[in-house]
Amino acid sequence: MKEEIILILILILSFNSIVFGGINDRIVAYVDTQAITLSELENKFSETKKILPDIKIEEVLNTMINRVLLLGEAKKIRLEAPTEEEILNDYIDLKIKALIRIKEEDIHNFYRANPEKFEGKQVEDVWDEIETYLIERQLNEHLKLHINELKQRTCIKIQL
């Protein structure tokens, strides 16, 4: 009888520590039904702070929200890859980068408008460099627009 009581007490105490002791985190944002916790935000913030010391926690949270939005869209079209990073890259390549076209005229215009960047090199010598830069610039613009569209049609609640 005494052993049963001890066993019951141990079970009750372990249950209480599981239920009450394990809740040390809180939710700082919802993106539709997906939650971002304070611990996730703090981990990402400390990682990012090592690379970008002046970054604010709100910027990191916004980046995390953007990531959740893009991954959600990638899952809707059933993209799969070994890592989330690869899924994001595939999604961006498929939905945004595939739509970007750089004209020869744009490359020539950029070359003429920025002669100091090319130190007397011929346009043919820096063609790929200019094209890559212009693609990245357009990609960033399109990505911002796409994320803003996603944010408008998604329920986002921040509790920071």
Q: Quick one: pLDDT at residue 4?
A: 55
Q: Would you give the distance in Å from CA 117 to the centre of its chain?
A: 31
What DSSP string describes 75-103?
HHTT---SSHHHHHHHHHHHHTGGG----
pLDDT band at 44 (very low <50, low <70, confident <90, very high): very high
Fold of 24-158: Triger factor/SurA peptide-binding fold (1.10.4030)
Residues 88 and 74 sit within 8 Å (Cβ to Cβ)? yes
pLDDT at 56 over 50: yes
Domains of the chain by residue range = 24-158
**Percent of the chain at pLDDT exceeding 90:** 80
Whole-angstrom Cα distance, residue 115 to residue 50?
35
Residue type, 48: T
Q: Quick one: pLDDT at residue 3?
A: 52
